[in-house]
Amino acid sequence: MISDSPQEKTTVGHLPETPERNAETLFRRFAATRDDRLRRQLVLMHHNLVRYLASKFVSRGEPLEDLVQVGTIGLINAIDRFDTERGIKFSTYATPTIVGEIRRYFRDKAWSLKVPRRLQELNLAASKAQEALSVKLGRAPTIREVAERISATEEETLEAIELGNAYDTVSLDSQMSSDSDPSATTLGEFIGAEDPALKNLEAYGDLAHAIEHLEPRERMIIVYRFFSDMSQADVANHLNISQMHVSRLQNQALKTLKRILSDQ
Amino acid sequence: MSDQLTTTVEDQAVAQVTLVVPCLAEFVGVVRLAILGVANRISFTYDEVEDVRLAVGEACTHAIERCSEYRAYLTDRGQEQVEVSALKIVCTIDGSTLTVQVTDTIPVAEYVDVNSNSSLDGIDYQKLGTVLMEILVDHVGFEANSSGTTVTLVKTAGQAS
């Protein structure tokens, strides 16, 4: 690059290296060479700018690290497009690009679940309508009233209200504490699960029904053996028969039960 | 967003909310909170409300920084310390447009903001604050005279800025 102003010749190397002067030199060299190492150096040099701008957006509920990351993409784009000849400071030039990237991130990505734009807008309208109607009616409005107000069907309205929860998801490991129990419990512990005993209950019903089909003596053996936890010898004593006989009758009864239950 | 869905402002005339707080950093939070309430009267999206809050926060921070610089300037000249000056925030709701004016009481004629270029790491944060405000809202205006500076921020719902 041949420069025509005498000032510029002295720029490189001779003036004290202020951060700004240094950046300007680097930008000129980068513009001429497109050297990847210079680019990296420029990115690192201006990283404070990204952190500063990203920190302005933390209150919107996204981690600073994520915002710095998307902001850095904006910074890189700005570095690639910056033209030193235009005479504006790089930070002034880069700020809209960085902030634009961060805001785009909020617009497109920050909803934890992807929700159609139409529903996002309906959600907003529904919550405004709920508020306005509450004031007007002096009570919480019904879904039908909200739906009428925003000219949507009741189903759409419900969907729109419900999806407000999708903006922000909560970790199952997030800490919950109550006044009575300050020791931390997690949200996950509050989530119900299907009780396996319920399935057993159904099986018990079927079994009770099947047992009724057994011979009285077989039925007694099954009840003693499996519900009263008696040994074959005890059952034999009880029924005044040999243990061998108990064993045979038990096997026979179990076979019958299996057949009845598998037929059902 | 269509007009059909705009529900809160249809039967309202122009409304004004005025807030006066001490020109101190710890009151920026109070202002931001109040702005949230006011901005919610308009059909702003969540992100638009946050944009307004951020811009107003910047305007207040700007005023507070200048206020502390002004106090330091007076001290340097051996002049009497000023009382903590007030920061006045006037919010005007007109249809789906919100105008927020942030006014401080730092006399410009007497004290010119000579330090605005000073920064530790080559970043001019006050200039950036201005750039940030311009990105976040539809219009930014500055008016400075001997009784103070007014920053005017205007944002209309549903307009990409």
Question: Which residues in chain A have Cβ-Cβ distances shorter than 8 Å to B136?
Answer: 99
Distance between CA A248 and CA A226 in Å, rounded?
15
Q: Do A95 and B124 touch (CB under 8 A)?
A: no
Angle between helices A243-263 and A196-211 (to 10 degrees): 110
Q: Do B132 and A99 touch (CB under 8 A)?
A: yes
Residue A100: what pLDDT? Answer: 92
Residue B160: what pLDDT? Answer: 60
Residue A9: what pLDDT? Answer: 42
- DSSP state string for A9-59: HHHHHHS---HHHHHHHHHHHHHHH--HHHHHHHHHHTHHHHHHHHHTTGG
Backbone dihedral region of A244: left (phi > 0), alpha (psi from -120 to 50 degrees) or beta? alpha
Q: Do B132 and A53 touch (CB under 8 A)?
A: yes
When pLDDT is averaged across residues B96-103 and rounded to a whole number, the result is 94
Q: Is pLDDT above 80 for B51?
A: yes
Residue B122: what pLDDT? Answer: 52
φ, ψ of residue A204 in degrees (nearest 5): -60, -40
Q: Is pLDDT above 90 for B144?
A: no
Residue B1: what pLDDT? Answer: 41
As for the ipTM of the complex, it is 0.75
Chain A residues at the B interface, defined by Cβ less than 8 Å, are 18-20, 23, 48-49, 52-53, 56-57, 59-60, 89, 91-92, 95-96, 99-100, 103, 106-107, 120-122, 124-125, 128-129, 131-132, 149-151, 167
Each domain of chain B, given as residue ranges in start order, spans 11-156
Distance between CA B69 and CA B88 in Å, rounded?
19
Query: Looking at the DSSP assignment, which residues form a beta bridge with residue A175?
Result: A186
What is the chain B residue with the closest CA to A122?
Answer: B5
Distance between CA A99 and CA A91 in Å, rounded?
12
Lowest mean pLDDT, pick from A38-52, A180-194, B77-91, B124-138: A180-194
Residue A152: what pLDDT? Answer: 86
Residue that wins the pLDDT comparison between B69 and A37:
A37
Q: Do B1 and A124 touch (CB under 8 A)?
A: yes
**Pairs across A and B, CB distance < 8 A:** 79
- DSSP state string for B71-112: HHHHHHTTPPPPP--EEEEEEEEETTEEEEEEE----TTT--
Query: Looking at the DSSP assignment, which residues form a beta bridge with residue B101?
Result: B90, B152
The pLDDT confidence band at residue B120, using thresholds 50, 70 and 90, is: very low
Coil, strand or helix at A6: helix
Query: Looking at the DSSP assignment, which residues form a beta bridge with residue A13?
Result: none
Give every strand in the sheet of B15-22, ordered side by side: B15-22, B86-94, B97-103, B148-156, B139-145
Residue B17: what pLDDT? Answer: 94
AA identity, residue A15? L
Cα A224-A230-A233 angle, rounded to 5 deg: 105
Q: Is pLDDT above 90 for B152?
A: yes
Cα A99-A101-A107 angle, rounded to 5 deg: 100
Distance between CA A216 and CA B14 in Å, rounded?
89
Q: Do B121 and A124 touch (CB under 8 A)?
A: no
Chain B residues at the A interface, defined by Cβ less than 8 Å, are 1, 4-8, 43, 45-47, 50-51, 53-54, 57-58, 121-125, 127-128, 131-132, 135-136
Q: Is pLDDT above 50 for B2?
A: no
Let me know if domain B11-156 sits in CATH 3.30.565.10.
yes
Cα B29-B34-B40 angle, rounded to 5 deg: 130
When pLDDT is averaged across residues B23-34 and rounded to a whole number, the result is 91
Instruction: Express each pLDDT in A100-120 by its tens digit.
Output: 999 988 877 666 666 677 777
pTM for this model (two decimals): 0.58
Q: Is pLDDT above 90 for B90?
A: yes
Give me the residues of chain A with pLDDT under 50, please.
1-15
